[in-house]
Structure 1
Amino acid sequence: MKQKLFIVTNRKLVKNNNMLDIIESSVQAGADAVILREKDLDCSKIIQLAKKIKKITEPQNVPLIINGNMEAALEVNSDGFHTNYADYMNEHFKFKGILGVSVHSTLEAANVQKKGADYLLAGHIFKTNCKKGLEPRGIAFLEDMLKNVSIPIIAIGGINESNIDKLLKTDIYGAAVMSLVMCSDDPYLTTRNLKEHF
């Protein structure tokens, strides 16, 4: 199985570049999927942004997954919808595409698998500025999850070129990066260099 690289958006981390340019560069460099995660935007703004991203991802057959806004996901006919654990467990999402859920424990992973999720986003694995002061969960956390669930697991949190190999030695489905690419001065090169480890 070829493991996959997911790019998670965060326009607030973008310094000099336009976020759409960053997404385009990372897709050209081999990113396998894009998760649009702009939780503070209202639905209409997410729809506008998603339509622009889809023009980049669709011709390359790169799935676009929308985080947290089902209305937008349905409106733009995104490939996937991603949500948090509590919302997934408390609601009944009717969505034809891929359904993903963020989890922070093996118990949560088992619960969302039972309820029918297509994949899990598990983190944070390594130290990251996005989760300041919170201890990373590490590789052992992933390995425990891998023993207990059979749906694809994507790791997130502090992933970079110096630690990606440790991750890829496990049976995870893929790795997701946010700040590494969003803050990069050369998102094409950053993505390509990371992708070369896969």
Structure 2
Amino acid sequence: MVAAKLALPHPILCLVTDRGLCRDLDDLASRVVAAVDGGVNMVQVREKGLDGKPLLLLTERVIQRVAGRALVLVNDRVDVAMATGAGIHLPEASLPVAEVRRMAGEHVALGRSVHSLDAALQAEGDGADYLIAGTMFATRSHPGESLEGPALMRRIADSVRIPVLGIGGIGDRNAVQVIASGASGVAVISSILATSDPSEAASRLRRALTQRESAGVR
């Protein structure tokens, strides 16, 4: 199954999934749909430790339910992404971007997580379509990671031509700091999935991004 690569939205509001914040996979899928209803336009299915078959079924389900409204990518599992027609997001320690680009072709949306300017430049040169840079702020999902903050975002955004998203402890109150540092959007987990109303949480984040955009900051 091959899907044409969708143009990356702007600004990007990316939801990174975590089934640990949900009752089960059904609840996760429902929360993803609610988040897209609220303004999420990119979904990264990131379910480490989930077997291939349930991950494939989850990805297919998400794609079907958000078709035309959000770009769906799979974290790390290139096989699942290619089988479902999803895009691919590579952790920094995963396969080389250039290798995956050759495998998947030019039509597939391909992103890379980075934590330094050197890694960002390498990923761009190897064919990544976008980057996710972190860690911006303290986060419960990765408590041991060093905080690079918006200063890292500024260094990367000033040096690459592809979109860069910030990740790590981002909510509607501090998203503007990341955008002001040159980000093309943000990626979030608990600020949407850990709430009682994912749609409203996404709407608040969308408003924060849009307000900053209207003020002339990319």
Give me the TM-score of the superposition, normalised by structure 1: 0.92
Between the aligned residues of both structures, percent identity stands at: 27
SS in structure 2 at match of 1:35:
strand
Of 37, 42, 45, which aligns to 2:46? 37
Q: 1:92 to 1:52 in 2, by over 3 A?
A: same
Match of 1:193 in 2: 204
Of 54, 58, 70, which aligns to 1:62? 70
How far is 1:119 from its partner? Answer: 0.8
Match of 2:88 in 1: 81
How far is 1:25 from its partner? Answer: 0.6
How far is 1:90 from its partner? Answer: 7.6
Q: Which moved more, 1:32-41 or 1:90-99?
A: 90-99
Question: d(CA) in 2 for partners of 1:135 and 1:50?
Answer: 31
- Map 1:113-132 onto structure 2 (within 5 A): 113-132=124-143
SS in structure 1 at match of 2:118:
helix
Structure 2 alignment gaps of length 5 or more: 1-8, 210-218
Question: d(CA) in 2 for partners of 1:40 and 1:50?
Answer: 15
Match of 2:145 in 1: 134
Deviations 1:20-77 (A, max 9, x none): 111111111111111000011121111110111112111x431111111111111111
Structure 1 alignment gaps of length 5 or more: none
Given that residues 88 and 112 in structure 1 are in contact (C-alpha distance below 8 angstroms), is that contact kept between their aligned partners in structure 2? no
Q: 1:61 to 1:161 in 2, by over 3 A?
A: closer
Given that residues 7 and 35 in structure 1 are in contact (C-alpha distance below 8 angstroms), is that contact kept between their aligned partners in structure 2? yes
Question: d(CA) in 2 for partners of 1:90 and 1:157?
Answer: 22
Question: d(CA) in 2 for partners of 1:33 and 1:91?
Answer: 22
Q: CA RMSD in A?
A: 1.8
How far is 1:88 from its partner? Answer: 3.4
Given that residues 85 and 112 in structure 1 are in contact (C-alpha distance below 8 angstroms), is that contact kept between their aligned partners in structure 2? no
SS in structure 2 at match of 1:150:
coil
Q: Aligned pairs, how many?
A: 196
